Amino acid sequence: MDGADGPSVALQSLAGNGEGVFEAAELGSRISKERFDQELPQLRVDLINAHFDLREADFPVLIVVVGDDRPGVNDLVNRLNEWMDARFIRTHVFGELAEQERQRPRNWRYWRALPGRGQLAIYTGNFALDTIGERLRGVIDDSEFERRLDHMASFEQTLRDHGVLVLKFWIHISKKEFARRIKKSLSKAGDGGRLDEMDHLVFGAYDDGRILSERILRRTDSSHAPWYIVESVDARYRDLTVAKAIRSALLARLTQPLVPEINRVASSIPPPEHTILDNVDLTARLGESEYKTQRRQLQVRLRHLTLRARAEGVPSVVVLEGWDAAGKGGVIRRLTRAMDVQDYQIVPVAAPTDEELAHHYLWRFWRDLPGAGHMLIFDRSWYGRVLVERVEGLVPETAWRRAYTEINDFEDQIVRHGIPFCKFWLHIDRDEQLRRFQDRENTPYKKYKITDEDYRNSERWDDYRSAVNEMVQRTSTEFAPWTLVPANDKRFARVEVLRTICDILTKRLRQR
Amino acid sequence: MDGADGPSVALQSLAGNGEGVFEAAELGSRISKERFDQELPQLRVDLINAHFDLREADFPVLIVVVGDDRPGVNDLVNRLNEWMDARFIRTHVFGELAEQERQRPRNWRYWRALPGRGQLAIYTGNFALDTIGERLRGVIDDSEFERRLDHMASFEQTLRDHGVLVLKFWIHISKKEFARRIKKSLSKAGDGGRLDEMDHLVFGAYDDGRILSERILRRTDSSHAPWYIVESVDARYRDLTVAKAIRSALLARLTQPLVPEINRVASSIPPPEHTILDNVDLTARLGESEYKTQRRQLQVRLRHLTLRARAEGVPSVVVLEGWDAAGKGGVIRRLTRAMDVQDYQIVPVAAPTDEELAHHYLWRFWRDLPGAGHMLIFDRSWYGRVLVERVEGLVPETAWRRAYTEINDFEDQIVRHGIPFCKFWLHIDRDEQLRRFQDRENTPYKKYKITDEDYRNSERWDDYRSAVNEMVQRTSTEFAPWTLVPANDKRFARVEVLRTICDILTKRLRQR
């Protein structure tokens, strides 16, 4: 087919399609050499120029190229690198999971590789296909398959919300064409043509694979980031079609910046009079000698647990949040004193670097996720998004409201990967905070010196209180509940955190 | 020994010492509990405050803690984390080489972990000890052992030149004390005390290990970063001694910033009339049809070589430097067109990010080094230090002069690791450059648009020419020679680069 209506018609957006999305694309589409040679020069000039402009733009571009035609995917990605400025394309060919990737939630490697603003990345190789393969081989069951699709869909949702331009291409050949190529490769002497063992496997499972592929395409298709199924009988048609789709998407986005989101939130609801924080019993106390006994016992227990975790390769994540002067530093010291330095890493969350600012706010936390046997202790965390950034008005309301879902999804993936996870809010009242500020003014430790800013933050106590309340309500999930720790008494708080972490580690290590 | 002269006396700087550096430290030094309890509070306040001030300072701190007393090293590092602000310490426990570390030169993991300005890192575990272990087991011979020491010494030299405060502690116990502990651990029921199998191995090779340790200590000792041998019979003595040494070094550096280096360079020598660049035959040309034939043959050859490199896990590094408009981009496209995208990565070298600026200029290039089977193509490189940064006066003369040695050492480690390496200078004359600038003004590609700055750079032609000359002279080493490519004729240049890379890859792949 080399019609005047051109290749754009054959781009199959799944939205609204019935059964058989692949059949609809099996049209034997071709483009003549003359037409290819005629269109290519202008296309390349446009692509190079759009790619050049992108480098100054405020959004990243992610192009996904996968499909059943594996040699075709490979050739196409090579072509895209040739037609755009290869120096500014990061092509990630995801293969079998490497050691450090297996130790972390599945999406870790996709988060790590994300482009920043003005950058362009191509994801290819096993992206999405590994999930099909594992289902076909029975490594995962149907419910795990669906869960993976959920995580893929929410990953893409997050990217779109962050303004990433996502373009997804599925490079397709019909079973008949596939059979023809298999036959040809078998009849060829020597290297078996361009098909390898994996292609033979893919062909052998073509029908089952097709059903699973359709499910992936349907589940992760959306109006913002539709899948394009591109037929690959003819390389010229395939390459030109994809390149033109990229050109039009890039130009559209470069010339028509996203309209700022309308504030979708109903006018703010007045905070409830009685909140979840009121239920925290701030009178909880622990006597000096009882504290010493319990703390020592718990530290011995924690030490043994972390040694076991190291031996078994179980990583863990601890999040510490709380009011200024609530005693996070003291809690962390009691934790780490029980452990070997090789078994933990503390991550103090400070202002982001320029590289971090160019990415989604969760990017740096994904990047930090621990490998086998390590405990990662976050001193403040991703919750800054719905606390300080919300209260100080650093991000629009839509952004921090969205964060609740994004955070729940992030923690879900951590927990599902079998990583013990706990998060603490160290709670004190305002009188106690002011008392501690005054104490600190007389301390010899510079790091505890109080500035005017601390007192100013304290004056926003009620705003922070509302934010904490909503955070706890919206992110206390079955898989990752908040532990609210009464911290007016430091001894009580330290023992409480130690005990909770020990319990969660014990539960996880017993399961193995 | 609990004398009034205090622990600082027992710090053994090796400089100027005769034989038996360890014997000199075997004094049975102890500190009483009373004295420890009396000195500790002020020491901790000082350490915490100095660590706090460091965060605003313009230098990084690297503390190395290794030695024959492995449990002692572990306890000491835990203590340092407790006594300073553990949130702002990155402790790196180097273990056995992981997959991705084996694929790269040995120092890669030490470069990667380097602290930036205002940061503090502790290196412990197998740092330096792995080299002793491999020599003991006969994995490396004496000359390789010496080469490793050279690389360690030049690594530290580079750090010091960069202003890193380096503190090195060797935690030592005598053979007699070691024997006592081994005996005790064997007599203990159950877990064998605190010593593990590795400690028994270390004890078994104590005498040989001691000789090798002395060689390491002597070779990497210097007035700027001396080794401190600290006796570890008594934990209080050991911990207090090291902590006090850190305190005094930190305070000294914080209160007395380094005096700006005196310009050690003799007043600049006028550039020679006839230079190495004059020997490049700029009339070299290649006809259109001959070019096509040769290019195609070389691209096929390159493709096969990169497929073999992938199969055998051989990475490679290509550096492209040259005048503006010399045709680097065109050369790169002819290279990559021959390869699969999964087999190469192009690194365009642009202005450094703030994280990169906080580190030594070679840090980002070390970090980028490729893993198994990947070709890394640098579009401009670390040579920026001795070209643009020199000519534009962005760094003092001492800094770019030092860079020649640093770069040679860096490339030496790449080549010695068995990574095929080539570097090209694409050479054109000034007339040709101006002609190409004028051509570009009429091109439809925005990325080639010429700005006033390009013409300004061109006016500094003679300065750049001197810089290029000196660069080629000082960094054309036996292991990593420059290939000067006549590039007035683009066709000739492309074929020349392709052929050189093919030859170097062939040579390396044949060796295996």
Task: Please give the Cα distance from A182 to A69 (Å, whole number).
Answer: 12
Q: How far is A395 from chain B (nearest CA, A)?
A: 23
Do A487 and A427 meet the contact criterion of CB atoms below 8 Å apart? Answer: yes
**Contact state of A346 with B86 under an 8 Å Cβ cutoff:** yes
Mean pLDDT of chain A: 87
Final residue before a domain boundary, out of B223, B255, B287: B255
> Per-residue pLDDT tens for A46-102?
999 999 999 999 999 999 999 999 999 999 999 999 999 988 999 999 988 888 888
* Percent of chain B clearing pLDDT 70 (strictly above): 91
Count other Cβ atoms within 10 Å, centred on residue A460: 13
Q: Kindly state the tokens that stand for A443.
A: 């301390």
Q: Kindly state the tokens that stand for B329.
A: 């981009």
**What pLDDT was estimated at residue B263?**
47
* Beta-bridge partners for A227: A168
Do B101 and B122 meet the contact criterion of CB atoms below 8 Å apart? Answer: no
**What pLDDT was estimated at residue B97?**
86
Please report, for residues B122, B140, B195, B209, the alpha-carbon distance to residue B201 in angstroms, rounded to integers and kept in the order given: 25, 18, 10, 10
Amino acid at A48: I
Please report, for residues A137, A204, A215, A222, B462, the alpha-carbon distance to residue A209 in angstroms, rounded to integers and kept in the order given: 11, 9, 10, 22, 64
**Contact state of B125 with A342 under an 8 Å Cβ cutoff:** yes
Q: Is the pLDDT of residue A222 over 90?
A: no
- Count up the domains in chain B and report the number: 2
Residue A264 lies in a domain: no
Task: Please give the Cα distance from A15 to A222 (Å, whole number).
Answer: 7
Sequence-ordered alpha helix ranges (H) in A113-260: 129-136, 142-161, 175-187, 197-204, 206-219, 235-255
Do A437 and A179 meet the contact criterion of CB atoms below 8 Å apart? Answer: no
Q: What is the CA radius of gyration of chain B?
A: 27
* Percent of chain A clearing pLDDT 90 (strictly above): 58
Query: Please, which residues have CB within 8 angstroms of residue A83's CB and are 6 or more apart in sequence?
Result: A43, A44, A47, A48, A243
Going by pLDDT thresholds of 50, 70 and 90, the confidence category of residue A278 is confident
Same domain, B237 and B324: no
Same domain, B238 and B386: no
Same domain, B248 and B283: no
Interface probe for A, chosen from B44, B91, B341 (most Cβ of A below 10 Å), is B341
Do A409 and A154 meet the contact criterion of CB atoms below 8 Å apart? Answer: yes
Residue B136 lies in a domain: yes
Residue B68 lies in a domain: yes
Among all chains, which residue has been given the structure tokens 């990047």? A367
Same domain, A35 and A166: yes
Final residue before a domain boundary, out of B197, B221, B255: B255
Same domain, B221 and B285: no
> Per-residue pLDDT tens for B106-138?
899 999 999 999 999 999 998 989 999 999 999
Same domain, A402 and A287: yes
Q: How far is B107 from chain A (nearest CA, A)?
A: 20
Find, in chain B, the residue whose alpha carbon is nearest to that of A99.
B99
End-to-end CA distance of chain B: 58
Q: DSSP letters along A376-397, please?
A: EEEES-GGGGGTHHHHTT-S-H
> Per-residue pLDDT tens for A449-473?
788 888 888 889 999 999 999 999 8
Count other Cβ atoms within 10 Å, centred on residue B454: 15
Residue B361 lies in a domain: yes
Residue B15 lies in a domain: yes
Please check whether residue B512 touches A, CB under 8 A: no
Task: Please give the Cα distance from A87 to B348 (Å, whole number).
Answer: 6
**Average pLDDT, stretch B305-318?**
93
Please report, for residues A181, A380, A440, the alpha-carbon distance to residue A450 in angstroms, rounded to integers and kept in the order given: 73, 19, 7
- Phi first, then psi, for residue A197 (nearest 5°) are -55, -40
Kind and range of the H or E run holding A505: helix A490-511
Same domain, B209 and B161: yes
Amino acid at B46: D
Task: Please give the Cα distance from B400 to B385 (Å, whole number).
Answer: 6
Task: Please give the Cα distance from B483 to B495 (Å, whole number).
Answer: 13
Q: How deeply is A250 buried, as exposed, middle or buried, from its count of CB atoms within 10 A (0-12, 13-18, 19+)? A: buried
| Residue span of the structural domain in which B118 resides | 7-255
| Cβ under 8 Å to B: A residues 119-158 | 122, 124-125
* Beta-bridge partners for A206: none
Same domain, A243 and A291: no
Same domain, A66 and A213: yes
Highest mean pLDDT among A347-361, B31-45, B437-451, B454-468: B31-45
Q: Kindly state the tokens that stand for B122.
A: 């502790």
Mean pLDDT of chain B: 87
3-state class of A263 per DSSP? coil
Residue A52 lies in a domain: yes
Q: What angle do CA B49, B53, B56 make, to 5 degrees?
A: 160
Amino acid at B325: A
**Average pLDDT, stretch B283-310?**
94
Going by pLDDT thresholds of 50, 70 and 90, the confidence category of residue A5 is very low
Same domain, A292 and A334: yes
**What pLDDT was estimated at residue A317?**
97
Same domain, B245 and B335: no
Task: Please give the Cα distance from A369 to A316 (Å, whole number).
Answer: 9
Please check whether residue B367 touches A, CB under 8 A: no
Residue A263 lies in a domain: no
Q: How far is A337 from chain B (nearest CA, A)?
A: 7
Amino acid at B6: G
Task: Please give the Cα distance from A102 to A419 (Å, whole number).
Answer: 12
* Closest to B170 measured CA to CA, from B112, B94, B113, B225: B225
Task: Please give the Cα distance from A126 to B156 (Å, whole number).
Answer: 42
Same domain, B307 and B245: no
Asked whether the whole model's pTM tops 0.95, one would answer: no
Q: Report the DSSP pairing between strands B12-13 and B227-231.
A: antiparallel
Sequence-ordered alpha helix ranges (H) in B349-489: 354-357, 363-368, 388-391, 397-416, 430-440, 452-459, 461-475
- Phi first, then psi, for residue B375 (nearest 5°) are -100, 125
Q: Report the DSSP pairing between strands A316-322 and A421-427.
A: parallel
- Phi first, then psi, for residue A437 (nearest 5°) are -60, -45
**What pLDDT was estimated at residue A103?**
86
Do A72 and A238 meet the contact criterion of CB atoms below 8 Å apart? Answer: yes
Please check whether residue A56 touches B, CB under 8 A: no
Please check whether residue B348 touches A, CB under 8 A: yes
CATH number at residue A188: 3.40.50.300
Task: Please give the Cα distance from B155 to B221 (Å, whole number).
Answer: 12
- Running DSSP on this structure, what letter comes out for residue B376? E
Q: How far is A354 from chain B (nearest CA, A)?
A: 7
Q: Positive or negative, the Cα torsion across B465, B468, B470, B476?
A: negative
Amino acid at A476: S
Question: Which residues of A are less than 8 Å from B346 in CB distance?
Answer: 86-87
**Average pLDDT, stretch B184-203?**
74
Query: Please, which residues have CB within 8 angstroms of residue B342's CB and are 6 or more apart in sequence?
Result: A91, A93, A125, B310
Residue B260 lies in a domain: no
Amino acid at A509: L
